Amino acid sequence: MSIFRVENASFARFKRVLFKELSFELEKGEILAILGQNGVGKTTLLQCLMGLLNLQEGKVFIKDKDISTYRSKELFSILSYVAQAKNHSIGLSALDMVLLGLNTQISTLPKKAHIQKARAMLENLGFLHLENRACDSLSGGELQMVVFARALINEPQIIILDEPESNLDFKNQLCIIENLNKLKAMGKTIIFNTHYPQNAKVLADKVLILEKHEHHIGDNTLINKKQLAQSFEVKEQFFDYLLL
Q: What is the pTM of this model?
A: 0.90
Do residues 106 and 114 make contact, with C-beta atoms less than 8 angstroms apart? Answer: yes
Report the C-alpha gap between 135 and 149 in whole angstroms.
13
pLDDT-based confidence at residue 230 (cuts at 50, 70, 90): very high
The percent of residues above 70 in pLDDT, for the chain, comes to 95
pLDDT value at residue 48:
96
Distance spanning both ends of the chain, measured CA to CA? 32
pLDDT value at residue 109:
66
- pLDDT tens-digit readout, 65-119: 999 999 998 998 899 998 887 766 667 899 999 998 887 666 666 788 999 999 9
pLDDT-based confidence at residue 28 (cuts at 50, 70, 90): very high
DSSP sequence for 9-63? EEEEETTEEEEEEEEEEE-TT-EEEEEE-TTSSHHHHHHHHTTSS--SEEEEEET
Name the burial class of residue 173, with classes exposed (0-12), middle (13-18) and buried (19+) by CB atoms within 10 angstroms of its CB: middle
What would be the CATH architecture of the domain defined by 4-241? 3-Layer(aba) Sandwich (3.40)
Q: How many residues does the chain have?
A: 244
pLDDT value at residue 49:
97
DSSP sequence for 81-121? EEPPP----TT-BHHHHHHGGGTTT-SSSPPHHHHHHHHHH
